[in-house]
Amino acid sequence: MSTHIIIVGGGPGGYVAAIRAAQLGGKVTLVERENIGGTCLNHGCIPTKALCKSAESVIETKKMHECGIMVQFSGVDMEKVHAWKDQAVEKITGGVRQLLKGYGVNVIYGTARLSKNKGVEVMEPDGRSGFIEGDAVVLATGSKQAVLDIPGIDCPGVVTSRGLLATKELPKRLFIYGGGYIAMEFASIYNALGSEVSVMVRSKVLRKMDGDMGKRIRVALKKRGVEFYEGTVLEKISATDQGLALKASGKKGDVTLEADMVLVATGNTPCTDDLGLEEVDVRVNKDGIEVDGHYRTAVPWIYAVGDVKGPPYLAHVASEEGKAVVEHILGHPTDGVDYTAIPAAAFTIPEAASVGLTEEELKESGETYTVGKFPYAANGKAVAMGEEEGFVKVLLRGDGTLAGVHILGAQASTLIHEAALAIHAKLPVSAVLSAVHAHPTLAEAFHEAAFAAKGVAIHQMPPRNG
């Protein structure tokens, strides 16, 4: 008799775990309370990337005359922009539903609650309930927008990213509170689409990335007209006849602004509500559900993967953990997840991507390192593409291995994977230097940055002596 695994949550952690378990011969039941694909596919990663395409197209259209293509930009049709976004979501989620069906995964729509009887109670949308018994339960319920205690946070026009994605109209004045990936992506998108965008952040933008990344993306977006208020705290939101009034305070004094819509994007919190964790004695800490190295909770037959166990809140991390946990449950060898080589990307315009340690982390550790930087403006392909904004930064340990790589510029989210593979494989930088890179390509910028870390970049002026 095959092992029965119950998976709660159909996002990137849950559906990937379900497919992998089915591949390994497990009997799988997947319980999802809303839509297969979770937040990422339905209300996050995929719809925002579709909007990125529309936003990038606006920017590209406006500068096409520079390369001899004479077109007239006549505006943005938000109804068609959202139709483009929605069809992308349906294609991807529809594909995942077909995969689950093809692998024989039993999908049940409803709300699951853990039971001491080694399984879950499921309440279906029509009010019917039932008990599902299993050998193991994997919790993959993800995370949700953190709720802030700010007066006026419940005013009409104050939305989370999910609410903004559902808003068909283009706000004339969009105020964004937060400076992380989500905040900066929406700032890029809506600025390009035509909104007047203001960003307020309590510390600094993209603070979890290398410091050079946040500084440069701030400069890039400021050039496009985005207004920034760093080191500033939002204190009150009020509804007025003209829209929304915002009061804040910061290191430069009090700030008063007006907006038509406010996006609150100040972080996520794990979705642990209504799972019955207390009744079955699953422990939760400040980050999320506590797990061991095999994602097992304090209850031996209950596991947790992805955002519900805490940061990093990344879909691809949840997917890798989903594969690793079912491989362990079903007794198959697993390599686990290499948390030292997790690539991350912010789909800003231009893109920002990182893997490994930041320079700030290396400084704090006291470890010896060298820095190599190479600008997109010196890369032949970037110049030919008209994408000269950006750089590649390589952080090299004293032992000759890569500590971290950070890329700002066109296709950064794709380029970062060569660096991720090198860090994962613990390759010496000599392996990167000796690998031939095709010309002309953006990938040569990473190659040159690695050479720059050794002080011998070809397409860069020699370092000054003394």
Query: Which residue in the list 437, 439, 447, 459 is annotated as catalytic?
Result: 439
Task: Please answer whether residues 189 and 51 qualify as being in contact, where contact means their C-beta atoms are separated by less than 8 angstroms.
Answer: yes
Quote the tokens at residue 91: 């294609």
Q: Which residue in this structure is represented by tokens 């390192």?
A: 369
User: Which tokens hold the place of 360?
Assistant: 């700030």
> Contact 11/42 with Cβ under 8 angstroms?
no
User: Could you tell me the sign of the dihedral formed by the alpha carbons of 141, 143, 149, 153, in that order?
Assistant: negative
Residue 465 has what DSSP assignment?
P
Cis check: omega of the bond before 440, within 30 degrees of 0:
yes
User: Per DSSP, what are the bridge partners of residue 344?
Assistant: 354
261: enclosing H helix or E strand? strand 261-264
Taking the C-alpha atoms of residue 249 and residue 316, their distance in angstroms, rounded to an integer, is 37
- As a whole number of angstroms, the distance between CA 341 and CA 338 comes to 6
Peptide bond into 312 cis (omega under 30): yes
The full length of the chain comes to: 466
How far is it, in rounded angstroms, from Cα 251 to Cα 443?
Answer: 41
Q: Is 135 helix (H, G, I), strand (E, B) or coil?
A: coil
439 is catalytic: yes
Q: Which residues are catalytic?
A: 439
